[in-house]
Amino acid sequence: MRFVRDDEVASAIPMREVIDAVERGFALYSLRRVRMPQRVRTDVPEHNGAILLMPCLVPELEVYSVKYVTVYPDNPSRGLPTIFAALLISDPRTGEPKVLAEARAATGLRTGAATAVSIKHLARRDAENLGIIGCGYQARWQLRAAAEVMRCSAVRAYDVVRQRAEELASEASRELGLEVRVSDTAEEVVRRSDVVITATTSRTPFVKKQWVRPGTHFSAIGAFTPDMAELEAELVASSKVYVDSLEAAKEEAGDIIQAVAKGLMRWEDVRAEIGEVVAGLKKGRENDEEVTVFKSVGIAVQDAAVAALILRHLGE
């Protein structure tokens, strides 16, 4: 069994391949052609953390993976990353473990790819103004993925810690050739963007409905528990909402759970899983005026899609 480091994953696997693989993975999931148990979550409230186990078998990709991931929002104050992760990849034909990979980069790649798939299918075709709220580690991958599927003529970033937004802007200029303008408020980002990515661990909804222009697309990828939310309930309820997994969303998608709890919408109002749109089973965006929301809590088929690429590029 080979051990693979994060830097190997980041350098060996092109983002475009990850987007294509995750898009296919979403479709296979919604077509019920993967075996993916609900992820196991262990809360660690005394340290404001969570430990997750995420298994998935994808027969068509000949891959089985299980990811161990921890999320500790207070870690940056300790000089540590918010997320630690490892990915065990096996050959389902024999059960033989093939690769143990560090998985911060893999998680970044697959989460960025999920946003790119949502932009491809749910954003306006002429969208070119990108906004990012929350400029931690994940924001780098979000920006790289978005740049693969839309013309980023203007990029705005906001973080409650301004230095993080400034660091993202510097890296984007140096590595991607993109100019990122640091905004003073989340409101400014939302009002001036066609696509808004929220990548925070906020427990208080901060994106207001009155800020949103017609035709805006949101990819809300930060909140992943019932008591976390980035978009206010009124905005969610008035938008066309799509999810990565309806089953997972009912357990973990705080943005939607809170809107349902307030009686502003029903679960039946969720338009589709993104995989159903990819597979042509349901419709995505239908006009340039509607506001679309892709609410992702992250599902194991995304990790399995990246695992298949790791085996292809780094397995030997």
**Domains of the chain: residue spans and CATH:** 2-106+301-314 (3.30.1780.10), 124-298 (3.40.50.720)
How far apart (Å, rounded) are the C-alpha atoms in residues 72 and 52?
A: 11
Expressed in angstroms, the distance from the first to the final Cα of the chain is 9
How far apart (Å, rounded) are the C-alpha atoms in residues 144 and 16?
A: 10
What stretches of the chain adopt beta strand conformation (E)? 2-4, 40-44, 49-58, 63-71, 83-91, 96-102, 129-133, 154-158, 180-182, 195-198, 217-220, 240-243, 272-273, 292-295
pLDDT score recorded for residue 225 = 86
Q: In which residue are the tokens 């953390």 written?
A: 49
Instruction: Tell me the pLDDT band of 145, cut-offs 50, 70 and 90.
Output: very high
Give the mean pLDDT of 157-167.
95
pLDDT score recorded for residue 313 = 94
Mapped onto helix, strand or coil, the DSSP state of residue 67 is strand
Q: In which residue are the tokens 């207001």 written?
A: 208
Q: Which range among 21-25, 41-45, 80-84, 297-301 shows the weakest confidence by mean pLDDT?
A: 80-84
Structure tokens at 49: 């953390």
Structure tokens at 24: 């296919």
pLDDT score recorded for residue 73 = 87
pLDDT score recorded for residue 39 = 86
Are 48 and 72 within 8 A, CB to CB?
yes
Instruction: Tell me the pLDDT band of 109, cut-offs 50, 70 and 90.
Output: very high
Instruction: Tell me the pLDDT band of 85, cut-offs 50, 70 and 90.
Output: very high
Instruction: Tell me the pLDDT band of 224, cut-offs 50, 70 and 90.
Output: confident
pLDDT tens profile 8-39: 999 999 999 999 999 999 999 999 999 999 88
pLDDT score recorded for residue 306 = 97
CA-closest candidate to residue 255, choices 300, 202, 215 = 202
Give the mean pLDDT of 104-127.
96
pLDDT tens profile 50-81: 999 999 999 999 999 999 999 898 998 899 98
Average of per-residue pLDDT values in the chain: 95
Give the mean pLDDT of 153-157.
94
pTM: 0.93
Instruction: Tell me the pLDDT band of 175, cut-offs 50, 70 and 90.
Output: confident
Q: Which range among 74-88, 236-250, 270-284 shows the weakest confidence by mean pLDDT?
A: 74-88
Active site residues: 67
Report percent pLDDT > 70 for the chain: 100
pLDDT tens profile 231-243: 999 999 999 999 9
pLDDT score recorded for residue 59 = 96
Give the mean pLDDT of 187-199.
98
Give the mean pLDDT of 246-268.
96
